[in-house]
A and B are shown apart, each in its own frame.
Chain A
Amino acid sequence: MSDTENLKLTPLYNSHLALGAKMVPFAGWMMPVQYTEGIIAEHKHTRTLVSIFDIFHMGEFRVKGGTSAAALDKILARAVADQKPGTCRYNFLLTEKGTAMDDLIVYRIAEGEFYIVVNAGTKDTDAARFRELLPQGISFADESDSTAKIDLQGPESANVLEALGLKKESLPGYYKWINASIKGIPCLLSRTGYTGELGYEIYFPAGKSESMWNLLLEQKDVKPAGLGARDTLRLEMGYPLYGHELNLKTTPVEAGFGEILKLGDKRDFIGSDVLRNSQPGRLLVGIELEGRRAAREGTKVLIGGQEAGIVSSGAFSPSLEKAVAMAFISKDFKTAVGMELELATDRFKVSGRISELPFYRKGTARMSLGG
């Protein structure tokens, strides 16, 4: 990805530049990492009011056909057959070894129709995998190029949608979606996100990108936020980032998702044999550091002076005003919330203790809209 000339631009590239964004390469795209106020201000604005994020780079697939639920049930790590139309579910695409090819969200559109939202960096390998695995008679379409996605996130986000003409009582509940129209732009609107705050993900035709972005930006309290704030917001919530907490060497069980996989159920899916018949060699934990200095990915974790694991993500937490990290700890070490440990690079060593996840516990993601 070092060749910036081959990077893709989202339809909002010029809008980002006009807003003073700093653009960086990410998963093959040039994306805004921050705007003029900076990551910490954007982070805090999202926690207290409302921000918009250009998430055009992520991929959207549509799977259609009478038996698509049964087919996806054999492919994905969590069941989809019991998922009702109108709902969203966090899910995983695994290798035969049970390691993660991607984490994704499945939207059930109808009995025989699903919408699948995947990470940008894994989109093409995911698409190839689905095409290889889905049986004949089921159609698969990669709609990523024609689909724009803007995330509206923050406690004021429902008020923004209301100001744009949507009735609050018609808005979808947590992890549900609806078809909506925002000032005449048709969209799929889900109450999902990656920040831990009340928020919506808006999918709509790519050609309407600038209209939608400007409509949202004109609303009271709305500011743009970049991938930098998106990363610190998700880290404070303990949400995994593909490539860090999940990757081709890591199973969802190791990353802390063992329970939601319901491995006790009889359903077979790709990787289920391995996950049922083996114990995870390491487990993901949250760590609150003693000071402001961050332990970045790759930092060693020492327990009682012995090397016990490695940091997968770490940064300064703007809400907690100290550094936090997520790390994989070998099963040879017993861990418990509150346990003290050290984080060491070849240049410095800092103390920390194991924390419950999420680090930030005041998120509004599940709040009731009342009424």
Chain B
Amino acid sequence: MKKYTKEHEWVEIKGSEAFIGVTAFAAKELGDITFVEIRPEGTDVIVGDVIGTIESVKAASDVYSPISGTVCATNTDLEEEPGIINNSPEERGWVCKLDNIDLIELEELMTKEQYDKYLKESTKK
């Protein structure tokens, strides 16, 4: 199961863990990503907490946790190669993994179809 936030994060449930990252739209908007900081393993977060910061050449942006849980792994490949997020935002560019999650929180989030519709409406002017 994969869900999306209005702040352009995605969360995908695999077993008892949740992978978190930013969407292709967010990666494109940020431009070339040059640095990623992720909250360390063991950090407890609730919905909306900052779980990381992504810097591009021009600016820095926070990544907010789509759900509550405990950071159980971070994507260490991003330390040396943050551009992975530009090349593969929704697969190899995952930012961190959470456990101790509650699936009921996912009901508040958007499906792929809902997110695509949201994108279309929010980028239309």
Contact = CB atoms under 8 A, between A and B. Distances in A.
Contacts of B37: 293, 348
B35 A39 contact: no
B31 A294 contact: no
Interface residues of B, number: 12
B31 A293 contact: no
Contact of B57 (A22, A40, A291, A348): A40
A348 B32 CA distance: 21
Interface in B3-53: 31-32, 34-35, 37, 53
A39 B32 contact: yes
B55 interface: yes
Given A33-B58, A228-B58, A292 B31 contact: no
Interface residues of A, number: 20
B32 A293 contact: no
B119 interface: no
A316 interface: yes
- Dominant secondary structure at the A interface: mixed
Contacts of A292: 34-35, 55, 82
Contacts of B57: 39-40, 228, 232, 315-316, 318
Contacts of A348: 37
Contacts of A41: 32
Nearest to B59: A296
A153 B114 CA distance: 45
A38 interface: yes
A316 B35 contact: yes
Interface-central residue, B31, B35, B57, B86, by most chain A CB under 10 Å: B57
A293 B55 contact: yes
A294 B32 contact: no
A281 B57 CA distance: 31
B103 interface: no
Interface string B44-85: 000000000101011010000000000000000000001000
Interface-central residue, B32, B53, B60, by most chain A CB under 10 Å: B32
Contact of B31 (A34, A318, A323, A347): A34
A228 B31 contact: yes
Nearest to A39: B57
A348 B52 CA distance: 12
A7 to B, nearest CB: 14
A130 B53 CA distance: 46
9 contacts: A38-B32, A39-B32, A40-B34, A292-B35, A292-B82, A294-B34, A296-B60, A323-B34, A348-B37
Interface of B: 31-32, 34-35, 37, 53, 55, 57-58, 60, 82, 86
